[in-house]
Amino acid sequence: MPPQPITLADYEALARERLDPGAWAYLYGGAADELTLRANTEGWQRLELWPRVLRALAGGHTQVQLAGRTLAHPILLAPVAHQQLAHPDGEAASALAAAAQGAGYVLSTQSSVPMETVSQAVLGDPGRGPLWFQLYWQHDRGFNLALAERARAAGYEALVLTADAPVSGARDRERRTGFSLPPGVASVHLRDLPPLRRAEAGTYCGGLPAHALRWEDIAWLQERTPLPVWIKGVLHPQDALQAQQLGVAGLIISNHGGRTLDTAPATARALPRIAEALEGKLPLIVDGGIRRGTDVLKAVALGASAVLLGRPVMHGLAVEGALGVARVIRILRDELEIAMALSGCRTLSDATPALLDGASQLS
């Protein structure tokens, strides 16, 4: 019997052994030369923690305030499509694991399990984190609104609009394997999407950019749904400021896990620039390359309220189903607590930019 995985990297290695090459390429790979994919992880690794010692740590905890709630810790599960590629239980398993560990959960539009199945499995858990629905904007506004209303009726508490993927990235790794969804795995929420008429398509990226999400679409949706709206996929401070003017609930600093535009900046570089521009006027969540508890602590120090975890969740799911996902979350939370204690942080409010800049602590 192989030893129990003790790090997120252990789960990654085991998942690679268990998944077929096509599924691995889809769930793990990035765009083009995968420079941004690697830069995401390296960006957190390059940041140094400057620990303070001999501080009072009694009564410490990992709690954070987010979306009007007190969460046990700042870890949420990112929207990842087609999770039945990793395990037959798919999104239902990862959502159950998130609820069991007090983590927030964001369900993808391209889920392979219906949103109602997922929400019914977790809404009754009093210790669960937030339950949100990620919306990929489609070419039919009426369809988008109907999907948003369906999510509200199913108990989802916010919408997460993905802004950074008007088209798919050039994912060479997938194409080399000839990846396609296997029988029985599909985007169940898009089955009734009206087809894009040929006359509307054009030739520029198959006509998809002409129907991509725009600022006016966000305002249009906000007027028609009672759900708070977050925007995911923001890297530029000017976009963050424009989103703030629209009155969105918050921003997710993301480069789509390096799966869309290669050579886009790592999220560890974008986060402090956006935090500085917004001056605390919007809550920020960050994803991309989070693999250690020290990464979570660094993200909070740079201005994030929470982090989203994507690929490691799929690794845990592929290895042990819901139990694997729960263990991945627990490992990261345990590492976060260790990093906090060793850095002199009793709570996450003690994690400020000074934690990453020893020179500033001379003042």
Q: Is residue 355 part of a domain?
A: no
Residue stretches of the chain with pLDDT short of 70:
1-2, 198-202, 358-363
Q: Is residue 187 part of a domain?
A: yes
Q: Is residue 358 part of a domain?
A: no
Q: Is residue 359 part of a domain?
A: no
Q: Is residue 327 part of a domain?
A: yes
What's the pLDDT at 204?
81
CB atoms within 10 A of CB 249: 19
What's the pLDDT at 197?
74
Q: Is residue 3 part of a domain?
A: no
Domain count, the chain: 1
User: The domain containing residue 177 runs over which residues?
Assistant: 8-191+201-350
**Secondary structure in 3-state letters for the chain:** CCCCCCCHHHHHHHHHHHCCHHHHHHHHCCCCCCHHHHHHHHHHHHCCCCCCCCCCCCCCCCCEEECCEEECCCEEECCCCCHHHCCCCHHHHHHHHHHHCCCEEEECCCCCCCHHHHHHHHCCCCCCCCEEEEECCCCCHHHHHHHHHHHHHCCCCCEEEECCCCCCCCCHHHHHHCCCCCCCCCCHHHCCCCCCCHHHHCCHHHHHHHHCCCHHHHHHHHCCCCCCEEEEEECCHHHHHHHHHHCCCEEEECCHHHCCCCCCCCHHHHHHHHHHHHCCCCCEEECCCCCCHHHHHHHHHCCCCEEEECHHHHHHHHHHHHHHHHHHHHHHHHHHHHHHHHHCCCCHHHCCHHHHCHHHHHC
In sequence order, the 6+-apart residues with CB closer than 8 A to the CB of 251 are 230, 231, 232, 234, 240, 243, 274, 278, 282, 283, 284, 285
- Establish whether 256 is a catalytic residue: yes
What's the pLDDT at 363?
42
CB 8 within 8 A of CB 328: yes
Q: Is residue 196 part of a domain?
A: no
Catalytic residue among 73, 87, 189, 256: 256
CATH number for the domain that contains residue 236: 3.20.20.70
Phi-psi region of 82 (alpha: psi -120 to 50; beta: other; left: phi over 0): left
Summarised one tens digit per residue, pLDDT across range 297-341 is 999 999 999 999 999 999 999 999 999 999 999 999 999 999 999
Q: Is residue 183 part of a domain?
A: yes
